[in-house]
Chains A and B, each alone.
Chain A
């Protein structure tokens, strides 16, 4: 906020034509790929030029990567058993009531 105010006072446009506060509000949606078009381009340009926002984006990216790496492999034998179960359902070999 202070940085945006300083920039306005100095007559400078914020990087990408969008200020840090606005980027902060949209950052996670942007990183999730839910911001499109011009807005996404403005944010991308801002993140290129603004060190603080760029670091913030990197931190969230790192968190997302770390979380995605936690995806556990489901046991192959469980998948196989459930596929067999589905096949037996289709062949009418399983009762249809839980």
Chain B
């Protein structure tokens, strides 16, 4: 695909435009801004060293695989106590303004309950929701991050959304009927 001896150009063409999505995914993976930035920096370094052998196809998937492997290596080196807390409180949820119209209040309640349902998911389900529905990755890209087949991403994603939907139904925020 590429001319030989154009590593720097390839790096600027294929890698630099992906920095923002790498940072977003790194944040989903680490849940910490500083760690996410460190992880992306290490990923860039490895990408730079490997760019000469990259064929120019699917740069995002290639970079996400590097990010995943880099993160695995970092976790091996680092403290187990920094593994994420599954009981962490929901954050970033907008407060509900009491004087909003009813529709807006219901929307806010729905959003809050979806946040609660997301937090209640097992890690393997929550991670696919974060990567696909929140970060906007394709199934294949999320598969690169998680190191699982794209079909597994799809089935986990569907089950995760079904659990969120069932929780909404239990709280009366979604229809109870199932097809």
A5 in the interface, Cβ–Cβ < 8 Å?
no
Residue among B110, B129, B133 with the most chain A CB within 10 A?
B133
Chain A proximity of B117: nearest CB distance (Å): 9
Alpha-carbon distance between A70 and B80 when the two chains are bound, in angstroms: 28
With both chains docked as a complex, state the minimum distance between the C-beta of A54 and any C-beta of chain B, in angstroms: 10
- The distance in angstroms between the C-alpha atoms of A67 and B158, with both chains bound, is 14
Contact residue among A23, A29, A63 (Cβ-Cβ distance under 8 Å from B154): A29
Interface residue A43 (Cβ < 8 Å from any Cβ of B): no
A66 to B175 CA separation, bound complex (whole angstroms)? 17
Q: How far is the CB of B175 from chain A (nearest CB, A)?
A: 5
Contact flags (1/0) for A79-98 with B, using CB distance below 8 Å?
10111011001100010111
Which residues of B pack against A, CB within 8 Å? 8, 11-12, 15-16, 19-20, 23-24, 27, 33, 36-37, 40-42, 44-46, 48-49, 70, 92, 110-111, 114-115, 118, 129, 133-136, 154, 157-158, 161, 164-165, 168, 174-175, 177-179
> Is A8 located at the chain interface by the 8 A CB criterion?
no
List 14 additional A-B contacts (Cβ < 8 Å) besides A66-B114, A78-B23: A23-B179, A28-B158, A28-B161, A52-B175, A56-B177, A71-B136, A78-B36, A81-B37, A82-B19, A82-B37, A83-B16, A86-B19, A94-B45, A98-B46
Do A82 and B41 form a contact, CB below 8 Å, given A63-B165, A67-B134, A71-B134?
yes
Majority secondary structure of chain B interface residues (helix, strand, loop or mixed): helix
Contacting residues, chain A, for B49 (C-beta < 8 A): 96
Closest A residue to B25 by CB, please name it.
A74
**Cβ–Cβ contact B44 & A20, under 8 A:** no
Question: Looking at chain A's contact residues, is the secondary structure mostly helix, strand, loop, or mixed?
Answer: helix
Q: Say whether, besides A67-B133, A69-B111, A79-B23, A55 and B42 are in contact (CB < 8 Å).
A: no
Q: Are B165 and A20 in contact (CB under 8 A)?
A: no
CB proximity of B145 to chain A, nearest CB, Å:
16
CB distance from B178 to the nearest CB of A (A): 8
Q: Which residues of B contact A13 (CB under 8 A)?
A: none
Choose among B129, B134, B136 the residue with the greatest number of A CB atoms under 10 Å from its CB: B134
Contacts of B157 in A (CB 8 A): 28
Max chain B C-beta neighbours (<10 A), residue from A70, A90, A94: A70
B84 to chain A minimum Cβ distance, whole angstroms, is 15
Report how far A60 CA is from B110 CA in the complex, Å: 12
Q: Is the CB of A63 within 8 A of B161?
A: yes
Task: Give the distance in Å from the alpha carbon of A24 to the alpha carbon of B161 in the complex.
Answer: 13
0/1 string, A12-37, CB within 8 A of B gives 1: 00000000110110011100000000
